[in-house]
């Protein structure tokens, strides 16, 4: 049992709304800090939950130092500051229990009422609020259903999905604490456990309701009444189905992802009659489960559905996407996807770095700055809405958080170059990485700082993450670094710069200056990595037209030295997978078996690929007869 580990920590700041994944958390008397501290009620004080309004599952709450930022599915933001809350309290009811709850304010009621199409009020579990659990009346609880915490194991979910014909994810069960490396339903036999600094008592199994039958991404009900249907076959007692265990904390303290679960005391588990049919555990369910593990393969195009559009700054929007059923994206923080769009009847491809954390498998996001005369960025901002779909190639890219291994890292970014750094900072925090991170970002004004509140919050959660914000056009009250990046800035704020791996992304001028300053301060170029989505050098065409024989996967066509290999292949009906068509994304990699090519870009190619003859079809022009494989 010593190998059992804490694999995930989740909180739900507003009851029935989207969760927040944490790498570490403080556990107080009433559970994890900030968990279910807010709720919605109708005008009579009766709890409103996603059981009645599934759309609530798509509202997010971002924790801030003095409040929360609420984000609606359409991208609208609402800021709530604790000191500004109304000081009046009212009686509300949570599953029959009367609670004295603090009314947040009319502006919040009106915002939620308009978004949800129902009159409602936002309440906070304030200083004068008090509530206790049923089985342990000495233990406090906030707006949670009945107990402060819920624990489940990955093995229990796997067991359920082996039996079910419609597998689900852990997100369906909204667990606070998820553990791994134990047997299925081992948690049923635990009576008292320790995680990190905190001891917990396991008080009762958790009965499950209809909310688990709603997919948290699509908001559609899961097929065949799952997972309740299968749970009823082998996890039913007293006309209730059970999955997971309710916990109460016995002391206060810190827990973090990766902590060992110590079993201090055990109990006899509940005996559930197993009525599952052998067929449901056999081929069909296993085949279905296998589908849930399909990866988004290299060069594979998938249709992504936009599930949220978040206005980060006046000219920056984050688009969050869901993948098709049974697919998951495995990628490295810093990598990009290639969008294949049709704009005004023309096919257009662009690369966008994923700003989401690879540790959050259901969260695929790009953060896009609207650029003057930018064809694609303008189209995305003005035309891509929640519910729309776009075609995209799988994540790829050599610039990622694995550069430099586990060495201390300096993230240098400016403007929209922050996007790969956001992904890296989010993942390293999600995974409680011990990697020492200094994150330097340059913007014009504070209003141009993308995700400033979240980064400040991440830095509080992750002591290994140190933020340095520099503004080139700061307001008079700005207390941070002022001015554009300089050698003096770097020397003053990053004295160990020469010992760090440096990842740099931003405008060309910023990167050129940053690299020059770092080298002047003794940094070794071999530990410098940069990302640029600028266009590759233009291709100079030969004034004299020549023709050649081009053999593509055994098919021979007539080629020339006047257009790219990709264009000539497509004109002849030979399809080579392609993405950006500008020598950046690498989707059109092919292998030159023989012959000579003029190459204008090798941006995404590794040295090993170059040595083995890999070229980019969009950026090469034949100079002789050639044989190509792909």
**430-487 pLDDT tens trace:** 777 788 999 999 999 999 999 888 888 778 777 889 999 999 999 988 989 999 999 9
481-482 and 465-471: which strand pairing?
parallel
| Proportion of the chain above pLDDT 90, given as a percent | 53
When divided into structural domains, the chain yields a total of 4
Q: Which residue has the higher pLDDT, 402 or 549?
A: 549
| Proportion of the chain above pLDDT 70, given as a percent | 93
pLDDT digits (tens, 9 = 90+) for 394-444: 888 778 878 777 889 999 999 989 999 999 988 887 777 788 999 999 999
The answer, yes or no, to whether residue 536 has pLDDT greater than 80, is no
Q: In terms of DSSP H, where are the helices of 58-130?
A: 106-116
Contact (Cβ atoms closer than 8 angstroms) between residue 138 and residue 148: no
Helix 418-430 and helix 452-461, axial crossing angle in degrees, nearest 10: 30
If asked whether residues 492 and 557 sit together in one domain, one would say: no
Question: In whole angstroms, what is the distance from residue 515 CA to residue 166 CA?
Answer: 52
The answer, yes or no, to whether residue 532 has pLDDT greater than 80, is no
Indicate whether 414 belongs to any domain.
yes
If asked whether residues 118 and 248 sit together in one domain, one would say: yes
User: Which residues span the domain enclosing 596?
Assistant: 547-629
Indicate whether 542 belongs to any domain.
no
Q: How confident is the model at residue 56 (pLDDT cuts 50, 70, 90)?
A: very high
- List phi, psi (to 5°) of 548: -140, 165
Peptide bond into 227 cis (omega under 30): yes
Average pLDDT over residues 205-219: 85
Indicate whether 588 belongs to any domain.
yes
Indicate whether 272 belongs to any domain.
no
Residue 482: its H or E element: strand 481-482
CATH number for 315: 2.40.30.10
Indicate whether 213 belongs to any domain.
yes
CATH number for 219: 2.40.33.20
Indicate whether 278 belongs to any domain.
no
Question: Within 13 Å of residue 288, how many CA atoms lie on the same side as its CB?
Answer: 17
If asked whether residues 230 and 349 sit together in one domain, one would say: no
Which of 218, 247, 266 is where one domain is finished?
266
The answer, yes or no, to whether residue 614 has pLDDT greater than 70, is yes
The answer, yes or no, to whether residue 542 has pLDDT greater than 70, is no
pLDDT digits (tens, 9 = 90+) for 146-182: 899 999 999 999 999 888 888 898 989 999 999 999 9
| Residues paired with 485 in a beta bridge | none
Which of 248, 266, 284 is where one domain is finished?
266
* pTM assigned to the model: 0.57
Contact (Cβ atoms closer than 8 angstroms) between residue 151 and residue 7: no
Q: Which residue has the higher pLDDT, 197 or 23?
A: 197
The answer, yes or no, to whether residue 318 has pLDDT greater than 60, is yes
Please provide the average confidence, as pLDDT, over all residues in the chain.
87
| Three-state secondary structure call for residue 153 | strand
If asked whether residues 98 and 208 sit together in one domain, one would say: yes
CATH number for 552: 3.10.20.30
Nearby residues of 617 by Cβ (< 8 Å), 6 or more positions away? 564, 565, 566, 569, 576, 578, 588, 589, 590, 628, 630
Nearby residues of 43 by Cβ (< 8 Å), 6 or more positions away? 119, 120, 121
- Nearest Cα neighbor of 72 from 111, 36, 15 is 111
If asked whether residues 577 and 508 sit together in one domain, one would say: no
Indicate whether 346 belongs to any domain.
yes
If asked whether residues 103 and 188 sit together in one domain, one would say: yes
If asked whether residues 521 and 554 sit together in one domain, one would say: no
Q: Which residue has the higher pLDDT, 580 or 77?
A: 77
If asked whether residues 389 and 413 sit together in one domain, one would say: no
Helix 283-292 and helix 154-163, axial crossing angle in degrees, nearest 10: 130
Indicate whether 416 belongs to any domain.
yes
Average pLDDT over residues 62-68: 85
Q: Which residue has the higher pLDDT, 211 or 5?
A: 5
If asked whether residues 187 and 104 sit together in one domain, one would say: yes
CATH number for 434: 3.40.50.80
pLDDT digits (tens, 9 = 90+) for 224-277: 788 998 999 899 988 889 999 999 999 999 999 999 999 999 998 888 888 775
Question: In whole angstroms, what is the distance from residue 75 CA to residue 59 CA?
Answer: 9
Average pLDDT over residues 120-141: 90
Average pLDDT over residues 345-370: 83
If asked whether residues 463 and 575 sit together in one domain, one would say: no
Burial 278-298 (b: 16+ CB within 10 A, else e): eebbeeebeebbeeeeeebee
Lowest mean pLDDT, pick from 104-108, 361-365, 521-525 = 361-365
Q: What is the pLDDT of residue 282?
A: 37
The answer, yes or no, to whether residue 141 has pLDDT greater than 70, is yes
Q: What is the pLDDT of residue 442?
A: 95
If asked whether residues 16 and 92 sit together in one domain, one would say: yes
Which of 396, 424, 452 is where one domain is finished?
396
**How many helices and strands (H and E) does the chain possess?**
12, 41
If asked whether residues 362 and 442 sit together in one domain, one would say: no
């Amino acid at each position: 049992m010593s190998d059992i580990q804490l694999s995930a920590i989740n909180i739900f700041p507003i009851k029935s709304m989207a969760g927040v994944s944490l790498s570490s958390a403080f556990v107080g008397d009433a559970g994890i800090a900030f968990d279910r501290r807010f709720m919605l009620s109708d005008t009579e004080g009766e709890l409103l939950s996603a059981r009645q309004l599934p759309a609530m599952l798509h509202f997010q709450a971002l924790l801030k130092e003095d409040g929360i930022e609420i984000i609606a599915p359409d991208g609208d933001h609402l800021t709530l500051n604790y000191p500004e809350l109304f000081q009046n309290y009212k009686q509300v009811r949570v599953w029959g229990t009367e609670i004295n709850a603090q009314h947040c304010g009319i502006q919040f009621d009106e915002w939620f009422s308009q978004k949800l199409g129902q009159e409602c009020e936002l309440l906070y579990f304030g200083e004068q609020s008090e509530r206790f659990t049923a089985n342990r009346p000495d233990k406090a609880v906030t707006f949670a259903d009945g107990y402060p915490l819920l624990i489940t194991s990955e093995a229990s979910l796997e067991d359920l999905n082996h039996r079910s014909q419609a597998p689900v994810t852990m997100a369906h069960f909204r667990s606070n604490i998820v553990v791994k490396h134990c047997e299925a339903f081992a948690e049923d036999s635990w009576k008292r456990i320790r995680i990190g600094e905190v001891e917990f008592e396991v008080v009762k199994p958790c009965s499950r309701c209809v909310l688990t039958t709603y997919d948290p991404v699509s908001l559609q009900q899961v097929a065949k009444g799952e997972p309740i249907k299968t749970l009823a076959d082998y996890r039913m007692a007293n006309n209730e189905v059970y999955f997971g265990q309710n916990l109460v904390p016995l002391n206060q303290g810190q827990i973090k992802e990766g902590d060992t679960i110590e079993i201090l005391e055990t109990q006899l588990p509940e005996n559930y009659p197993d009525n599952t049919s052998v067929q449901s555990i056999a081929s069909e369910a296993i085949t279905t489960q296998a589908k849930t593990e399909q990866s988004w393969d290299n060069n594979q195009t998938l249709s992504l559905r936009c599930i949220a559009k978040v206005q980060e700054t006046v000219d920056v929007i984050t688009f969050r996407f869901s993948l098709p059923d049974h697919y998951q994206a495995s990628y490295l923080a810093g990598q990009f996807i290639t969008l294949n769009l049709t704009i005004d009847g023309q096919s257009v491809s662009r690369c966008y770095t994923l700003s989401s954390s690879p540790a959050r498998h259901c969260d695929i996001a790009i953060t896009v700055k609207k650029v003057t005369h930018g064809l694609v960025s303008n189209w995305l901002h003005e035309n891509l809405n929640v519910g729309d779909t776009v075609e995209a190639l799988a994540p790829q890219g050599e610039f990622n958080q694995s550069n430099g291994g586990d060495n201390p890292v300096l993230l240098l970014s400016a403007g929209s170059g922050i996007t790969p750094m956001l992904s890296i900072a989010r993942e390293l925090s999600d995974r409680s990485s011990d990697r020492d991170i200094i994150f330097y970002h340059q913007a014009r004004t504070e209003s141009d700082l993308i995700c400033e509140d979240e980064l400040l919050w991440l830095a509080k959660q992750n002591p290994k993450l140190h933020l340095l914000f520099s503004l080139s056009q700061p307001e008079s009250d700005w207390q941070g670094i002022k001015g554009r990046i300089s050698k003096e800035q770097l020397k003053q704020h990053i004295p160990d710069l020469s010992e760090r791996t440096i990842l740099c992304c931003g405008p060309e001028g910023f990167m050129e200056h940053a690299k020059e300053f770092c080298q002047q301060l003794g940094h070794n170029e071999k530990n410098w990595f940069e990302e640029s989505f600028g266009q590759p050098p233009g291709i100079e065409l030969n004034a004299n037209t020549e023709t050649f024989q081009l053999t593509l996967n055994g098919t021979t066509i007539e080629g020339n030295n006047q257009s790219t290999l990709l264009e000539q292949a497509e004109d002849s009906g030979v399809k080579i997978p392609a993405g950006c068509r500008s020598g950046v994304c690498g989707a059109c990699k092919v292998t030159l078996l023989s012959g000579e090519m003029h190459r204008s870009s090798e941006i995404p190619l590794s040295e090993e690929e170059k040595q083995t003859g890999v070229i980019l079809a969009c950026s090469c022009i034949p100079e002789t007869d050639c044989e190509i494989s792909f």
